[in-house]
Amino acid sequence: MPSQSVLEAKQAVVAELAERLKNSVMGVVVNYKGINVEDDTKLRKELRENNVKYTVVKNTLLKRANDQVGLSAMDSVLEGTTALATSDEDYAAAARILANFAKDHDFFEIKSGFMDGEVVELDTINSLAKLPTRDVLLANVLGAFQAPIAAFARVMQAVVDEGGFEECLKKMAPAEEAAPAEEAPAEEAAPAEEAAPAEEAAPAEEAAPAEEKTEE
């Protein structure tokens, strides 16, 4: 029968695992059989750099933790050597790194996993493993907006160079008023055309008195 201190230590481990499972958005359980020290070191380094926590766990203790957080559906695969990888933010990092590692190591395999508190199928984990890294996704998104942002930056720089929005508006105002000024000569041309009939009418009216004097 284990001593009280051993029982308390196991309970502490189970409580820590349960809290870790509950706070993780994604978790992957693997069989690490056959991995050597050098490969294990490289794997842990890559996982750590991607903010993935990776630890070897005892099956019995992980089962107890699973039962506490509603992940008991994973219990059936908890046999042999077991390691747990969890991430608090990234849904794809653990699946991607571990799946790629398993391709080059015959005995290393993914057993199961969970996402947002629910056990998921291996197909789901494999699909997540095919997603690009967060940096690549961000680069693609930024690339899609790069042209509009560059154009906007040029416009803003032009505003700054012109002395601000008010200054730009002042410089734009004369250009808008210039259009009516060009139409002015066309409007003044109309009175000149009306003047011609007035000049021709005057001689016609003065001619009549001249003829009457001749008849007397």
Residue 143 CA to residue 33 CA, distance in Å, equals: 42
Q: Which CATH superfamily is domain 4-131 in?
A: Ribosomal protein L10, N-terminal RNA-binding domain (3.30.70.1730)
Which helix (H) or strand (E) segment is 86 a member of?
strand 83-87
Angle (nearest 5°) at CA 82 between 85 and 59: 110
Helix axes 93-103, 122-129, angle to 10 degrees: 90
Lookup: tokens for 29: 């359980």
Q: What are the pLDDT digits (tens) for 108-148? A: 999 999 999 999 999 999 999 988 765 554 555 555 555 56
Instruction: Give the number of other CB atoms < 10 A from CB of residue 81.
Output: 16
Asked if 174 and 180 touch (Cβ cutoff 8 Å), the reply is no
Res 156: pLDDT: 58
Pairing assessment for the beta strands 118-120 and 52-56 based on DSSP bridges: unpaired
Residue 201 CA to residue 206 CA, distance in Å, equals: 9
pTM higher than the cut 0.75: no
In the chain, what are the domain boundaries? 4-131, 137-203
What is the tally of helices (H) and strands (E) in the chain?
Answer: 7, 5
The burial of 68, by beta-carbon neighbours within 10 Å (0-12 exposed, 13-18 middle, 19 or more buried), is given as: middle
Q: What are the pLDDT digits (tens) for 14-45? A: 999 999 999 999 999 999 988 999 999 999 99
